[in-house]
Amino acid sequence: MARQLIKGNEAVVKGAILAGCRYFFGYPITPASEIAHAAALYMPEVGGTFIQAESEIAAIQMVYGAACAGARVMTASSGPGISLKCEGISYMAGAELPGVIIDVMRGGPGLGNIAPDQGDYNQIVKGGGHGNYHVIALAPNSCQEMCDLTALAFDLADKYRNPVVVLSDAFIGQMMEPVEFPEARPAPPEKPWRVGGTRETRNNLVTSIEMVPEEQEEHVRHLIRKYDEVEENETRHETYKVDGADTLLVGYGVVSRVLQSAVDQAREQGMNVGLFRPITLWPFPKEELRALARKVNRIHVVEMSFGQMVDDVRLTVGSDAKVDFYGRYGGVVPSVEEILDNVLAPTEV
Amino acid sequence: MASKILKKPDSFFESFSRRSGPDKVSTHYCPGCGHGVLHKLIAEAADDLGIQDRCVFINPVGCSVFAYFYLDFGNIQVAHGRAPAVATAVKRVHPHAIVISYQGDGDLAAIGGNNILQAANRGENITVFFVNNAIYGMTGGQLAPTSLIGQRTATTPRGRSAENDGYPMRVCELLATLEGPTYIERTSLRTPKLTQKTRKAIRKALQYQMENRGFSLVEILSPCPTGWKVDPVKSLDWMEQQLEAYFQLGVFKDVGDERPAKADPERDLWSANYGTAIDLPTDLDAKLPEASPAPKYRNPSLKIAGFGGQGVLLLGYTLAEAGMLSGYHVTWIPSYGPEMRGGTANCQVGISEERIGSPIVSNPSVLIATNLPSMDRFEPEIREGGLLLYDRSLIDRKPNRTDIESIAIPATSVADELGNSRAANMVMLGAYIGKTGLLSRESVMEALDLVIKRKNLIDLNIKAIDKGIEYGRGAR
Ligand SMILES: Cc1ncc(C[n+]2csc(CCOP(=O)(O)OP(=O)(O)O)c2C)c(N)n1
Ligand code: SF4
């Protein structure tokens, strides 16, 4: 078993290359830059291409272009750059193009700061770009998952011809943990719809424009059917010590790691606490959460935001459990102690 | 006009089946519009050069958004102004494809200004056909970067004024100042003779791409009677008297001779040795720690803090690496970004027998402090019964806490004696493992091999660690 102590941001690139990605188009931004650094180093070593684009706007359009050409392709950024990429993400969704976007979230809004944050949830999960679309959003909470979920992102992107976002945060990107790398995939099969400068592909057209409203409506219906299929098949989540729990903590990304420690300590103190961690933020693991919600009295959602995912939790559980929210923002990561003191303790009295 | 002398090329669809509605034979362009003529010139060139199958046509946002109704190429429709970025990537993926970015003046010179500039500057081996009709056609005749001074448009109802709107932009002249481009020419569609010149320029630009000579752009002055609100005949007069007077026709750059023809690049994407290509780990047997530390030293969460440049991140990284090699779960979080510059640096390390939940160390069980500000800042956070190691060569106060164990190590002096004060971090590391027995000397040596890039420094670091171990053991 070969493991490597590696930064989350670098694990992303190795995972991507092993999954068959050969094209990276990016623009520097802390705390995501190491992804570009590693891509610049490694892509040429496997025959691939790295370009530092003139902006995130251009970088995502290069992703659009390489995707049209049938390649596995990615980009990475953080909040301010993700905002610029939203144009391209909408076009990719409209034109049904696969591609992987890594968002290493930092404090916002505006320039904010470079500390960990989860304020991009709504931007990614609820839209960001214009029009009726979804991206598949995966939320890693370890360096291993930075690798594994990036690789999975490519598979899902191709399977559903849709952009996939790996929604990470500054700590998961900057930290180092041991990572076990998967086997390298063989060359992915040629995509029949690609535009490749060949006779077989000459008749192909990639576009997102349809001027006749009824036909555009039919296209969106087609997208909806696809999204239904994604919701049906692709939700992922993890639970921790939920057996017999009367209280459920819900969090994703680095917050879920803090919550895991909080669960351990709370259990030591005799509290019946468990953890539910969505791994896919869209599609949101509704069924699984709903089933658990029926068994507990109280749900505490913890986010590094002013309350974004909590809306999805509330929609999901309805009146089955009382849902509270605890948030830190601006780049502040909640500590285990404050979860115990501010979130769990008050319910015990 | 010129279109009459052209027969329908193969690269131009016979019938426009992608057009919705009953009319499949006429284009959607206005009478007297230049777009249709230009499409045919491009199609004809593709036929004659034998590249129809290889052509990938990037359809912009503008009146030519539906060029794919007419051109029988591989087609991609893109966002407003972004065609050069998309074309760049298509070409990088398929170097054998002939990639054509077709753009209007709003698309290329306004919203996509930076995209064209940068693609040209990179010298992308693509061909750009830039339709300058001095107006936004599609959206109803608004000001373009290329609209002339005094030109009335929907958004300059009193005429373009230099004070408010700036001057018309000469794209060819601008791009010709760059090293990147190979060939830049401005032509016109006003007369059959000028159209012939355009025809030639199109061929040359495509030929250059086929020969991998680099970036070409042909700017084509093109009539837009609808946008200009004149009839097609008058539009030609305006072109002659106004447009061509400001936008001089001709070749602005042609260094094709200096950039000789090349074969398409050969690349091998799928047979790399991943181990070496992307530095994957080789199999290592995780050794369980032979030393069994006292219970209070097991599963530590460490904070390691000092000045940037003292190597505190490396200290933590080495501990985490040795921890991993010893079969522990480990995490390492650095301080990062501008915070690091000139100021303090710290990292948080977890080394545990169990899967680690929170990687964040808010109350460390171990603090390694290598300067006074770090000790001042983090000493109060140490867990009761925890351990503090500090560099007493640089910190001239005693710890305030009495509920913790503390050890003062003359790390910088020891490192100085070894010949390099920068090895003080490794003295501290040695002292920590000597004191706690958490990690074996061997695991740390193996870790050093992985974390130290400059191999000539390894010896020094080993000596420093050994000195530190002595101090640590002495403090047991
Ligand atoms: C981001 C964005 N902004 C604005 C528009 C609206 N729009 C469509 S075409 C166009 C101008 C096109 O003018 P030009 O590039 O000169 O092409 P022409 O129509 O004259 O051929 C604009 C502003 C858009 N589609 N997308
Ligand atoms: S508005 Fe102008 S550019 Fe557009 S089709 Fe009509 S004449 Fe051509």
E strands of B9-48, at which residues? none
What is the pLDDT at residue B342?
Answer: 62
What is the pLDDT at residue A349?
Answer: 43
Whether A291 and A246 share a structural domain: yes
| Closest ligand to Cα B189 | 2
Name the helix (H) or strand (E) containing B75: strand B74-77
CB contact under 8 A, A205 and B89: no
The two structure tokens encoding residue B128:
């750009």
Residue A43 belongs to domain with CATH number: 3.40.50.970
Ligand 2 pocket, Cβ-based, cut-off 6 angstroms:
B 29-30, 33, 35, 63, 133, 137-138, 224-227
What is the pLDDT at residue B2?
Answer: 46
What is the pLDDT at residue B291?
Answer: 66
State the count of interchain CB pairs (< 8 A) between A and B. 247
What is the pLDDT at residue B3?
Answer: 47
What is the pLDDT at residue B1?
Answer: 45
Q: Which atom of ligand 2 is nearest to the CA of B131?
A: 3
Q: Label residue A348 by pLDDT band (50, 70, 90).
A: very low
Mean of per-residue pLDDT scores for chain A: 96
Residue whose token pair is 């004070």: B163
Query: Across the interface, which of B54, B86, B324 has its CB nearest the CB of A64?
Result: B86
Residue A300 belongs to domain with CATH number: 3.40.50.920
The C-alpha atoms of residue A63 and residue A71 are separated, in whole angstroms, by 9
Q: Which of A203, A233, A263 is the last residue of a domain?
A: A233
Taking the centre of ligand 2 as the mean of its atom positions, its distance from the CA of residue B138, in whole angstroms, is 7
Helices (H), chain A: 8-18, 33-42, 56-68, 79-95, 121-125, 143-160, 170-174, 213-233, 254-268, 286-293, 309-317, 336-338, 345-348
Ligand 1, atom 23, lies closest to the CA of B139
Would you say A157 and A120 are in contact if contact means Cβ atoms under 8 Å apart?
no
Query: Across the interface, which of B59, B73, B277 has its CB nearest the CB of A46?
Result: B277
Nearest Cα residue to B353 out of B401, B434, B293, B399 = B293
**Cis before B260? omega within 30:** no
B372 touching chain A per CB within 8 A: no
Ligand 2, atom 4, lies closest to the CA of B137
Nearest Cα residue to A76 out of A6, A170, A162, A177 = A170
The alpha carbon of residue A232 is apart from the nearest alpha carbon of chain B, in Å, by 30
Would you say A289 and A317 are in contact if contact means Cβ atoms under 8 Å apart?
yes
Would you say A66 and A16 are in contact if contact means Cβ atoms under 8 Å apart?
no
Whether A219 and A248 share a structural domain: no
B384 touching chain A per CB within 8 A: no
Q: Which of A233, A265, A280 is the last residue of a domain?
A: A233
User: How much of chain B exceeds pLDDT 90, in percent?
Assistant: 91
Query: Across the interface, which of A3, A64, A257 has its CB nearest the CB of B78?
Result: A64
For an interface test with A, give the residue of B53, B100, B333 to mutate (most A CBs within 10 A): B333
The greatest distance separating any two alpha carbons of chain B, rounded to the nearest whole angstrom, comes to 99
The alpha carbon of residue B82 is apart from the nearest alpha carbon of chain A, in Å, by 7
A265 touching chain B per CB within 8 A: no
The C-alpha atoms of residue A236 and residue A148 are separated, in whole angstroms, by 13
Q: Which of A211, A233, A255 is the last residue of a domain?
A: A233
Q: Which atom of ligand 2 is nearest to the CA of B31?
A: 7
Whether A295 and A206 share a structural domain: no
A340 touching chain B per CB within 8 A: no
Secondary structure class of A52 (helix, strand, coil): strand
The per-residue pLDDT for range A53-96, each reduced to its tens digit, is 999 999 999 999 999 999 999 999 999 999 999 999 999 999 99
Compute the average pLDDT of residues A182-199.
95
A48 touching chain B per CB within 8 A: yes
The alpha carbon of residue A317 is apart from the nearest alpha carbon of chain B, in Å, by 26
Whether A138 and A83 share a structural domain: yes
The two structure tokens encoding residue B85:
């970025």
Measured between beta carbons, the chain B residues lying within 8 angstroms of A207 are 59, 68, 75-77
Query: Across the interface, which of A175, A177, A195 has its CB nearest the CB of B76?
Result: A195
CB contact under 8 A, B357 and A25: no
What is the pLDDT at residue B257?
Answer: 96
| Closest ligand to Cα A61 | 1
Name the helix (H) or strand (E) containing B195: helix B192-210
Whether A219 and A78 share a structural domain: yes
Domains in chain A, number:
2
CB contact under 8 A, B92 and A55: no
Compute the average pLDDT of residues A305-325.
97
The two structure tokens encoding residue A330:
């601006």
Using CA atoms, how far residue B202 sits from B96, B115, B127, B129, B130, in Å, is 18, 21, 9, 8, 11
Whether A138 and A66 share a structural domain: yes
Name the helix (H) or strand (E) containing B313: helix B312-325
Residues whose CB is less than 8 angstroms from the CB of residue B336 and which lie 6 or more positions away in sequence, other chains included = A30, A31, A114, A170, A174
All structural domains of chain B, each given as residue ranges with its CATH number in brackets, are 35-258 (3.40.50.970), 282-474 (3.40.920.10)
Name the helix (H) or strand (E) containing A76: strand A73-77
Whether A163 and A255 share a structural domain: no
Q: Which atom of ligand 1 is nearest to the CA of B103?
A: 15
Q: Which atom of ligand 2 is nearest to the CA of B28?
A: 5
Taking the centre of ligand 1 as the mean of its atom positions, its distance from the CA of residue B79, in whole angstroms, is 10
B350 backbone φψ class: left, alpha, beta (φ>0; ψ -120 to 50): beta
CB contact under 8 A, B82 and A30: no
Please give the angle made by the CA atoms of A285, A288 and A293, to the nearest 5 degrees: 115
Does the predicted interface ipTM exceed a cut of 0.90? Answer: yes
B360 touching chain A per CB within 8 A: yes
CB contact under 8 A, A336 and B73: no
Nearest CA in chain B to A177: B331
Does residue B228's CB lie within 6 angstroms of at least one atom of ligand 1? no
Residue whose token pair is 């990615």: A74
Please give the angle made by the CA atoms of A191, B97 and B260, to the nearest 5 degrees: 150
A104 touching chain B per CB within 8 A: no
Would you say B103 and B131 are in contact if contact means Cβ atoms under 8 Å apart?
yes
Measured between beta carbons, the chain A residues lying within 8 angstroms of B281 are 2-4, 181
Testing ligand 2's pocket by substitution, the residue of B29, B135, B236 carrying the most ligand atoms inside 8 A of its CB is B29
Testing ligand 2's pocket by substitution, the residue of B27, B28, B30, B37 carrying the most ligand atoms inside 8 A of its CB is B30
The domain in which residue A222 lies consists of 3-233
Query: Across the interface, which of B99, B115, B324 has its CB nearest the CB of A3?
Result: B324
Specify the DSSP class assigned to residue B64: G
Which residues of chain B carry a pLDDT beneath 70?
1-6, 284-291, 337-342
Taking the centre of ligand 1 as the mean of its atom positions, its distance from the CA of residue B221, in whole angstroms, is 17
Q: Which of residues 278-337 of A touch B (CB under 8 A)?
A: 333, 335-337
Would you say B67 and A211 are in contact if contact means Cβ atoms under 8 Å apart?
no
The two structure tokens encoding residue B391:
């560099």
Measured between beta carbons, the chain B residues lying within 8 angstroms of A59 are 85
The residue type of B243 is L
Q: Which atom of ligand 1 is nearest to the CA of B136?
A: 13
Whether A138 and A223 share a structural domain: yes
Compute the average pLDDT of residues A16-30.
98
Measured between beta carbons, the chain B residues lying within 8 angstroms of A63 are 89
The C-alpha atoms of residue B131 and residue A319 are separated, in whole angstroms, by 60
Ligand 1, atom 24, lies closest to the CA of B80
Does residue B29's CB lie within 6 angstroms of at least one atom of ligand 1? no
What is the pLDDT at residue A299?
Answer: 98
Whether A220 and A293 share a structural domain: no
Q: Which of residues 111-170 of B touch A (CB under 8 A)?
A: 114-115, 117-118, 122
A195 backbone φψ class: left, alpha, beta (φ>0; ψ -120 to 50): beta
User: How much of chain A exceeds pLDDT 70, in percent?
Assistant: 99
CB atoms within 10 A of CB B68: 22
Secondary structure class of B388 (helix, strand, coil): strand
Query: By CB neighbour count within 10 A (0-12 exposed, 13-18 middle, 19+ buried), where does B285 fall?
Result: exposed
Nearest Cα residue to B370 out of B346, B337, B348, B386 = B346
Whether A91 and A189 share a structural domain: yes
Would you say A59 and A25 are in contact if contact means Cβ atoms under 8 Å apart?
yes
Taking the centre of ligand 1 as the mean of its atom positions, its distance from the CA of residue B96, in whole angstroms, is 30
Measured between beta carbons, the chain B residues lying within 8 angstroms of A73 are 89
Whether A289 and A211 share a structural domain: no
What is the pLDDT at residue B288?
Answer: 58
A187 touching chain B per CB within 8 A: yes
Nearest Cα residue to A278 out of A320, A226, A236, A328 = A236
What is the pLDDT at residue B341?
Answer: 58
Predicted confidence (pLDDT) at residue A193 exceeds the cutoff of 80? yes
CB contact under 8 A, A88 and B278: no
For an interface test with B, give the residue of A30, A46, A201 to mutate (most B CBs within 10 A): A46
The C-alpha atoms of residue B466 and residue B472 are separated, in whole angstroms, by 10
Whether A158 and A215 share a structural domain: yes
Q: Label residue A2 by pLDDT band (50, 70, 90).
A: confident
The C-alpha atoms of residue A297 and residue B5 are separated, in whole angstroms, by 81
Predicted confidence (pLDDT) at residue A288 exceeds the cutoff of 90? yes
Does residue B136's CB lie within 6 angstroms of at least one atom of ligand 1? yes
